[in-house]
Amino acid sequence: MVVAPVPQDRQLVELAKLPQHVAIIMDGNGRWAQQNNVSRQAGHRAGAENIRRVIETFAMYEVPVLTLFAFSTENWVRPRREVNALIRLIGHFIDRELQQLHENGVRLHHMGSLDPLSADLRNRVEEAMELTKDNDRITVNVAFNYGGRMEILEAVRHIIEDGVPADRIDEELFATYLDTDGLPDTDLVIRTAGEQRLSNFLLWQTAYAEYYTTPVYWPDFNVDEIERALIEFSHRQRRFGGVGEAQADPPRSPKQTG
């Protein structure tokens, strides 16, 4: 039912190009639970158990940044019992996986607001980020209580609070006010469970991203599925609005002149 650990001796697929930043909308835990005749809470637990295996696979492929959409600002409208179970999973994940992730060179970073969490859980999340802050094998952003519109609004508020003159505001400066400051823009967005929506996720960072959807539910999203997504990405021709040969990087917007 849940995918097996990544084999250490697995032969990796050779790819001509790899994304620098993969973002995943982890969808389908509830439908996986229904399919397997277990509770929704059990489905979310199965999804949480799959996270480390997915991180390990992307680390094996030397993808430097992985962002996981765990809980949106809109998910609070779900039944209270389900929300509480999801929040408890954060603590369980830290207890069970943190040390192994740290030993494997994973840097953990939170995106969104931790304010709704208990003081104890906030401290544990912050301690996990502090422990892993110098790791450099792969950076894993966990978007919990995150929304793309909220992120952009917060960036605008902070720019205003900092008194930045209007003529100094450009894309490069604006990006420094986002939760992904210092990280490359998203190259590839993967959504599991067959849905084809962005769901208010990384609205700024995905401007030039490639999209890949799979009908596979998140708990069953394994190394084979990851390789299919990476192979598909390697075949895409990314022109960033231009024509002719594919480009390696998106173009910079021209500076505004007075």
Packing angle, helices 223-235 and 40-60, rounded to 10: 50
* Candidate from 29-38, 46-55, 244-253 with smallest mean pLDDT: 244-253
Q: What is the mean pLDDT of residues 122-151?
A: 98
Catalytic, out of 27, 179, 185, 220: 27
List pLDDT tens digits, range 176-205.
999 999 999 999 999 999 999 999 999 999
Whole-angstrom CA distances from 211 to 25, 96, 194, 207, 233 are 11, 32, 12, 11, 9
User: Which pLDDT band holds residue 4 (cuts at 50, 70, 90)?
Assistant: very low
Mean pLDDT of the chain: 91
Residue 27 a catalytic site member: yes
Q: Residue 251 is encoded by which pair of tokens?
A: 């173009």
As its CATH architecture, domain 21-234 has 3-Layer(aba) Sandwich (3.40)
Residue 75 a catalytic site member: yes
Catalytic, out of 29, 36, 50, 75: 75
List pLDDT tens digits, range 11-45.
677 787 899 999 999 999 999 999 999 999 999 99
Residue 144: φ, ψ to 5°: -125, 130
User: What per-residue confidence (pLDDT) applies to 16?
Assistant: 76
User: What per-residue confidence (pLDDT) applies to 243?
Assistant: 58
pTM as predicted: 0.88
> Would you list the domain boundaries of the chain?
21-234
User: What per-residue confidence (pLDDT) applies to 106?
Assistant: 98
List pLDDT tens digits, range 223-241.
999 999 999 999 988 766 6
| Residue scoring higher pLDDT (137 or 252) | 137
Q: What is the mean pLDDT of residues 108-118?
A: 96
User: What per-residue confidence (pLDDT) applies to 139?
Assistant: 99
List pLDDT tens digits, range 149-180.
999 999 999 999 999 999 999 999 999 999 99
- Give the angle subtended at the CA of 216 by the CAs of 211 and 219, to the nearest 5°: 110
